[in-house]
């Protein structure tokens, strides 16, 4: 990991800006009556989930399933045709789909190290982009994405879909109405019982996988048999630990509820407690972020212990000076300052349908997206800062104006990463 210099950053931004300007004049107008044509990148897990959802939406068409693994392509095509629609074309390299003028939008559901490069490549090709969480693999990448989005006549939505969940909107409305007074503290948790990933072996990639393409912009690493398809989350070279995998969802809602942008201080404590294996990231972690005006956000993650009380693995609590709200995807409970249950709602969802529908309507009609890159970046930054605090063993002093760490050479080295030449525009 190394700090990319300002010259490289500006060069990359300029390259994307020029490409975007070139495509603006050739963009075909999208009629409100037309379907949005998608290419989905990454189909083994999240991409297939999104394909299943898109297959049910009336104004969406999936033209391409793109994955560097043959079996994942088949899985994605099966998901895309699950509601009886036409079969999309399966290809390895998503860039071929971007050459098709009929494709309106790219969904990036590939591993985290692909999020920013694929988004910038998609925008430069004149496509709208739906990028899965976390918004970026490094803090530097998030700033590149913001710069590119500002220059683009395109929609960019980050896949923090709880921003489109009606239950969470209702909770935020309650907070804004003063239902629990001034909100001072927001905490979210993630509990799971993940198994050990064991000790992997360096070996040749399977014949069905184009491992060179899978690595893409990341500097090359030898293939190991316990990384793909999912465990890359647990290696810093490709993933962002459990906080970037699942924590970012509820951290985003906590930050939204607090009405906070960037923190002033971030601390983290954690370690690997459960298994002696190849996992690099902590399986137990607590991150605390302090914000201006006396507000605090806390995230707790235990990847090896299932939820007991509460029963759900993902929970959020907001505490104000006049009460508290406890909630999850399925509903919320509102208490007054005397711990009396005032209100309860048990009708919620993941927000998948609503978030994709919001994106489609933004492409078709100019509707505002529920999670633009600016918001996705701020929430992802809390994950980056938490990981940086963990890796450096430092309490980070942060500039609340932009999220940059103050006076820490060790943190600066983790702000950006190296790339294989030519994969990130301008780098």
For 366-411, how does the pLDDT look when each residue is reduced to its tens digit (9 = 90+)? 999 999 999 999 999 999 999 999 999 999 999 999 999 999 999 9
- Print the domain residue range for 110: 6-161+353-371
pLDDT digits (tens, 9 = 90+) for 256-271: 999 999 999 999 999 9
Q: Is residue 327 part of a domain?
A: no
Model confidence pLDDT, tens digit, residues 222-258: 999 999 999 999 999 999 999 999 999 999 999 999 9
Q: Is residue 120 part of a domain?
A: yes
Q: Of 226, 324, 215, 220, which is closest to residue 275 (Cα–Cα)?
A: 226
Q: The domain spanning residue 155 has which CATH number? A: 3.40.50.720
Q: Is residue 389 part of a domain?
A: no
Q: Is the pLDDT of residue 7 over 50?
A: no
Rounded to the nearest 5 degrees, what angle is found at the Cα of 77, between the Cα atoms of 73 and 82? 150
Domain count, the chain: 1
C-alpha dihedral, 166 to 55 to 53 to 94, nearest 10°: -120
Distance of CA 255 to the CA centre of its chain: 15
Does 285 fall in a domain?
no
Whether the predicted pLDDT of 87 surpasses 60: yes
CA distance 233 to 238: 7
Instruction: List, as one string, the DSSP characters of 236-304.
Output: TTT--HHIIIIIHHHHHHHHHHHT--S-SEEEEEEE--S--SS--S-SEEEEEEEETTTEEEEEEEESE
Is 149 within 8 Å of 44 (Cβ atoms)?
no
Please check whether residue 322 lies inside any domain of the structure.
Answer: no
Mean pLDDT, the chain, whole residue set: 92
- State pLDDT tens for residues 151-200: 988 999 999 999 999 999 999 999 999 999 999 999 999 999 999 999 99
pTM of the model: 0.92
The answer as to whether 75 is a domain residue is: yes
Give the Å distances, CA to CA, from 19 to 117, 153, 421.
Answer: 14, 12, 18
In a domain, 419, yes or no: no
In a domain, 275, yes or no: no
**Element spanning 397, H or E:** strand 396-397
Q: What is the pLDDT of residues 343-365, one digit of tens each?
A: 999 877 789 999 999 999 999 99
């Amino acid at each position: 990991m190394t700090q990319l210099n300002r010259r490289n950053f500006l060069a990359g931004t300029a390259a994307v800006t020029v490409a975007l300007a070139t495509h603006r004049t050739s963009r075909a107008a999208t009629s409100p009556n037309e379907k949005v044509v998608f290419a989905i990148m990454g189909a083994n897990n999240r991409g297939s989930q999104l394909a299943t959802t898109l297959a049910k939406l009336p104004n969406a068409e999936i033209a391409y399933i793109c994955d560097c693994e043959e079996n994942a392509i088949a899985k994605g095509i099966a998901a895309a045709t699950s509601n009886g629609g036409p079969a999309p074309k399966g290809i390895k390299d998503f860039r071929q789909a971007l050459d098709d003028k009929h494709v309106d939008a790219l969904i990036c559901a590939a591993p985290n190290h692909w999020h920013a490069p694929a988004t910038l490549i998609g925008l430069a090709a004149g496509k709208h982009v739906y990028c899965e969480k976390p918004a970026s693999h490094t803090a530097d990448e998030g700033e590149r994405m913001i710069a590119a989005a500002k220059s683009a006549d395109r929609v960019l939505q980050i896949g923090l879909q709880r921003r489109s969940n009606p239950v969470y909107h209702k909770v935020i409305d309650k907070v804004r109405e003063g239902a629990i007074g001034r909100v001072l503290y927001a905490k979210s948790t993630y509990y799971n019982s993940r198994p050990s990933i064991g000790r992997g072996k360096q070996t040749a990639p399977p014949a069905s996988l184009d491992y060179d393409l899978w690595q893409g912009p990341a500097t090359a690493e030898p293939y190991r048999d316990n990384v793909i398809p999912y465990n890359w989350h647990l290696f810093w070279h490709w993933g962002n630990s459990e906080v970037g995998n699942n924590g970012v969802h509820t951290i985003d809602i906590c930050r939204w509820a607090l009405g906070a942008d960037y923190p002033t201080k971030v601390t983290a404590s954690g370690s690997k407690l459960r298994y002696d294996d190849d996992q690099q990231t902590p399986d137990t972690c607590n991150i605390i972020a302090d914000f201006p005006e006396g507000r605090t956000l806390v995230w707790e993650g235990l990847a090896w212990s299932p939820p007991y009380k509460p029963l759900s693995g993902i929970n959020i609590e907001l505490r104000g000076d006049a009460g508290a709200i406890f909630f999850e995807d399925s509903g919320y409970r509102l208490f007054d300052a005397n711990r009396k249950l005032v209100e309860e709602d048990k009708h919620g969802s993941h927000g998948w349908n609503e978030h994709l529908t919001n994106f489609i309507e933004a492409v078709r009609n100019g509707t505002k997206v529920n999670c633009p890159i600016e918001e996705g970046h701020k929430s992802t930054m809390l994950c980056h800062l938490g990981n940086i605090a963990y890796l450096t063993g430092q309490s980070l002093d942060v500039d609340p104006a932009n999220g940059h760490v103050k006076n820490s050479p060790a943190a600066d080295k983790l702000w950006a990463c190296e790339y294989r030449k030519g994969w990130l525009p301008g780098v």
